[in-house]
Structure 1
Amino acid sequence: MRKLAGVFALFLMCSVASAQTSSLNTSTMNGQGGLEDCIEEVAYISPSGQAFTKTEYKEALVYMLKTGSCSYKGIKLYGKVKFVTSFPDIKIQYVSSFPDIKVQFVDSFPDKCGKWKEVSSFPDFKVEVVSSFPDLKVKKVTSFPGMN
């Protein structure tokens, strides 16, 4: 429901922006700019319904990789994790090369970057495993977890 509300809010913002632009500039009548371009610019809609442009999404990934902050969109990438099939905080894809983060599954003390403890209740964040279009690419490791 939150995603639907976020998409609706995005549609309203694009409609208002399109209406303001069309009143100032007649080029939207010729198919240049407008609602379609605004919607195409959206790259990611978070679980909370917030829309991010392609530029914002790219900047977040670059920041995360450069600073080694071990967080993604404000979600720390260590701690207790619950695997879900709907409404995840983060979508991941398991890879064998070029991961965004290396993850070590532990039984206790998931207190460092890349250390995850799988739980069934009271998670720090929820993850869905997907085969395409992930938020993060993850490699399972037995030692040296963390950001690349």
Structure 2
Amino acid sequence: MLIELALSQSAALSGPVAEDCTFNGIPLHGDVEIVESFPDIRVQLVTSFPDLKVKRVTSFPDDCGEWEFVDSFPDFTIQFVSSFPDIKIEYVSSFPGLP
């Protein structure tokens, strides 16, 4: 019982982004399309305490937190929301990834 409680608490403290930089199995790097409905991930833009630091790139978004915004053929879609996000992101100019 005590082990189950400790595991559930550590999962709650770790946040929605997994250590391998995924959210529900979606790698959080690559080509991203912003949509108005039915997103893969609901995202809130914050300036402190993000779940993921995102660097906007124009090519080769291969590392954790590197996103290239596209209009078609995305790796995943996001919708910006002001409440009840799946993850919170902060835009950075260097050192993207897990905080």
TM-score bucket (shorter structure): 0.7 to 0.9
Show the counterpart of 2:41: 90
Q: Does the 8 Å contact 2:16/2:86 carry over to 1?
A: no
Greater Rg by CA: 1
User: Which runs of 5 or more residues in structure 2 are unaligned?
Assistant: 1-7
CA distance, structure 1, for counterparts of residue 16 and residue 43 of structure 2: 16
Tell which has more relative contact order, 1 or 2 (C-alpha 8 A, sep 6+): 2
State the Cα deviation string for residues 81-132 of structure 1 (Å, max 9, x = none). Answer: 0000000000000000000000000000000000000000000000000000
Letter in 2 for 1:141: V
1:145 aligns with 2:80: no
Task: Detail structure 1 runs of 4+ shifted over 4 Å in the superposition.
Answer: none
TM-score by length of 1: 0.57
Indicate the residue corresponding to 1:21 in structure 2: none
In the alignment, is residue 129 of structure 1 matched against residue 80 of structure 2? yes
Partner of 1:62: 14
Count residues with an aligned counterpart: 91
1:133 to 1:63, Cα distance in 2 relative to 1, 3 A? closer
* Identity over aligned pairs, percent: 53
Structure with greater strand share of residues: 2
Matching of residues 1-148 of structure 1 within 5 Å = 59=11, 62=14, 68-148=19-99
List runs of 5+ in structure 1 lacking aligned partners. 1-55
